[in-house]
Chains A and B, each alone.
Chain A
Amino acid sequence: MNLTFKFVPFNELNGLTSEKKINRLLEFVKKDKIVLLQGRLKPSEEAWLIQKTMEQQAANKGFKGIELFTIPASRNEKIFSQMRAVVARVLLGSRDELTLIGPGTIIKEIKSNPDRSELLTTVRG
């Protein structure tokens, strides 16, 4: 599988209804993109994203669900600041919150192929 990143700036979703937002994000993930969403979803949208994911997973054999992670803006914990630093340097140059949404198979992919530089080249590419 060829995982690539898709950066979704805040204003690309701004103004969309929650439903349209979720659908757009899921469309990217189903095309094996790791979505980097600037900002974060509302709790109700997160819950909805999980529900829609489950619906679509039941309907679509190839779709194994999602990985979802929010990198908070104001956390000092090392892991977060490191992750954010890497992502932000590559893409954003910003200190905003970030939401990562990827295919459910992503962790297996990274584990079986733990070459981060390769992931980063796909970011640039």
Chain B
Amino acid sequence: MAVFNIFKDLFDKLSALFSAKKDVKLGLYGPPNAGKSTLANRICKDWLGEEMSSVSAVPHETREVVVKEKIEVKSKGKSLSFNLVDTPGIATKIDYEDFLKFKINKDDAKERAKEATKGVIEAIKWLDDMDAVVVVLDSTINPYSQVNITIIGNLAARDIPVMIAANKTDLKKSDIKAIEAAFPQYPVIGMSAEKGINMDEFYDQLFKVVKK
């Protein structure tokens, strides 16, 4: 019996090693200020009890890619391990003057803008590496921007599974339908990353997208 246990133990360890589930590299992409980092924190808090990213009302708060590894997420009795990648918001122009109204001084604003341009480049470079992507959009804003179209077009061209998080549904101006109309080929989940609204549906849809 003891010998059997030793073998069984060895066998379990070996099989765990070889059948080890590959972690899913999940990217959060979108324009600045959509709530990517808020969602990253929400996911981390739900499953690890800690946060991973800095959130701010000032656009381009995230200027470097942030990765949190091995987040075990459970949904409807199934479990997946994610490496979560929070990316800088993608933009076609960055004007430091836009930061001044947030009481940031001119030098800091210029520095922030410069770092932000590098962040955009980094975010786009990382696109190729993703196993799946949640495109996070602020549902109070018209979704028909070229940045959104470019992000989703590039994911489609690379065959990377995509879902859209229509974030900030807690706000009056939120319009999930507008996002559904703009991107009819993709699943859209209305949610509030900040308030934690509709997270079960979000995880459910995430599992469906990853399994495809």
Contacts and interface: CB of A to CB of B under 8 A. Distances in A.
B93 interface: yes
A118 to B, nearest CB: 22
Given A54-B117, A69-B146, A70-B146, A47 B127 contact: yes
Interface in A38-66: 42-44, 46-47, 50-51, 53-55, 57-58, 64-66
A67 interface: yes
B95 interface: yes
B120 A44 contact: no
A21 B154 CA distance: 18
Nearest to A43: B153
Contacts of B149: 70
B114 interface: yes
Interface string A3-46: 00000000000000000000000000000000000000011101
A43 B93 contact: no
A44 B154 contact: yes
Given A43-B156, A47-B124, A58 B95 contact: no
Contacts of A64: 93-95
Contact of A47 (B94, B117, B118, B150): B150
Given A57-B94, A65-B91, A104-B93, A51 B153 contact: no
A46 B150 contact: yes
B116 to A, nearest CB: 8
Contacts of B150: 43, 46-47, 50, 68
Contact of B92 (A42, A43, A67): A67
B17 interface: no
A67 B94 CA distance: 11
A67 to B, nearest CB: 7
Given A43-B150, A43-B157, A51-B124, A66 B93 contact: yes
Given A47-B150, A50-B92, A57-B117, 6 more contacts: A43-B157, A46-B153, A46-B154, A50-B124, A68-B150, A69-B146
Interface of A: 42-44, 46-47, 50-51, 53-55, 57-58, 64-70, 104
